[in-house]
Amino acid sequence: MASGRGGMLLCAPTAEYHRRRDITFVPVEGVPDSMLGLVWRRADETARIRAFARAVEELCSAPG
């Protein structure tokens, strides 16, 4: 159950994915497009993290 207070800006796909009956999503116009990116702490970088980052980059740069 939502607490009845608070607010957060979300991109439309994220709002749609997390849709709930007890939360109202209100479209906001006039703000710049948002961008998503992967980040991690350099000290915690592993081969798995690098492989995941490469896979995401390939998927996002694929046509269509």
* Tens of pLDDT, residues 31-60: 888 777 899 999 999 999 999 999 999 998
| Rounded mean pLDDT, 11-22 | 88
Residue recorded with tokens 């796909």: 13
The answer to pTM > 0.85 is: no
SS (H, E, C) the chain: CCCCCCCCCCCHHHHHHCCCCCCCCCCCCCCCCCCCCCCCCHHHCCHHHHHHHHHHHHHHHCCC
Distance CA 41, CA 8 (A): 25
